[in-house]
Homo-oligomer: A and B are copies of this chain.
Amino acid sequence: MAAVEMQAVLSNGDGTLRISRTLRPTPKGTEVLVKVRSSGLNGADLLQVRGLYPPPPGWPEDIPGLEFAGEVVALGEQASNTLLGKAVMGIVGGGAQSEFVCIEQSNLVPVPKGVELKAAGGIPETFFTAYDALFLQGGLTLGDRVCIHGGAGGVGTSAIQLARSAGAEVFCTVRNEDMHKKVQDLGCITLSEEEFPGSGPYDIILELVGAKHLRSNLQELQQLGRIVVIGVGAGATSDIDLRTLMAKRACIRGSTLRSRHTAEKTILAREFMRHLNPLFASGTIKPIVDRYYSYKEASEAYDTFKKGGKFGKIILTWPT
């Protein structure tokens, strides 16, 4: 039988991309094959195509993409046949920016009712990340005062909605002046970088920007407060005053999803289904999409992402 091919975004390893045909993966065991309808862009993709953030072992080296939504079109020999034809979404270690993706069936989440398949491809990475960071890492609870550094992007807009839905009081720093109104409409108070010092104390600070905030983060932290670091695009190293950390009985935690084992992603997928799908279905939370691009325009999409100043997600769409 001739090898079956598919279209995919392929990294040239120097920051540039090409759209090209490549081998379609084959689902084995409990894996399923998903025909991708949409795939969100993430900061990690930009690093990966520059050769700076190689995928974890077992994932495609040259196809970026950490999230997708689509339809199950084929099954591994042990996968459940009830999945065939279902609208699903999920996170993968790489390879989601292609026509087809293989994934363990247990890592799938059904596309929530009322959400378009086109938009759903921008949900998993940012909402998994925001949910994990705020609730599982940060222990967010009713009435917590939360600050999110970098509120306008994909994770930021997801985190604002989730924190608000859980009864937190949410503040956000937003660098782009023109973006404040849009971010406020998600239900939070926006701050410029200059307004952050003195705006605390916060129970949780979600750091999506970089180490430059670390000193003021500690300063603005409440007793027993938690700083969760999941983005350091604007710099990774900083001074830290451990005496303040002790006096506040505070905690600084770093986290990342990509390298996690399939089993951990399964647990996260189940939490997602249980806690987030109903919120999507009721319209309490929604994917925020800045712009859709056809997969053929992937280079333009990456350029737009790189420029910054987007509100929510940039999503590549694939033919139905």
Contact = CB atoms under 8 A, between A and B. Distances in A.
A56 to B, nearest CB: 11
A253 B224 CA distance: 10
A105 B244 CA distance: 31
Contacts of A239: 237-240
B245 A259 contact: no
Given A251-B254, A252-B252, 7 more contacts: A211-B240, A211-B242, A232-B243, A236-B242, A242-B254, A249-B255, A249-B256
A237 B240 contact: yes
A177 interface: no
Q: Kindly name the residue among A236, A244, A248 whose own CB sees the greatest number of chain B CB atoms within 10 A.
A: A236
B251 A256 contact: no
A1 interface: no
Nearest to A238: B240
Contacts of A207: 242
Nearest to A243: B236
Contact of A255 (B240, B244, B246, B256): B246
A292 B250 CA distance: 35
A229 interface: yes
A110 to B, nearest CB: 27
Interface in A209-256: 210-211, 214, 229-230, 232, 236-256
B249 A241 contact: no
Nearest to A252: B252
A91 to B, nearest CB: 16
A254 B246 contact: yes
A209 B239 CA distance: 18
B246 A242 contact: no
Contacts of A241: 236-237
Interface in A110-141: none
Contacts of A211: 240, 242
A229 B251 contact: no
A242 B256 contact: no
Interface string A248-269: 1111111110010000000000
Contacts of A210: 242
Nearest to A224: B255
B232 A247 contact: no
A53 B319 CA distance: 67
18 contacts: A210-B242, A214-B240, A229-B245, A230-B246, A236-B241, A236-B242, A236-B243, A238-B239, A245-B252, A247-B259, A248-B254, A249-B253, A249-B255, A250-B253, A251-B251, A251-B254, A252-B252, A252-B253
Contacts of A242: 207, 210-211, 214, 229, 232, 236-238, 254
A252 B238 CA distance: 14
Contacts of A256: 246-247, 249
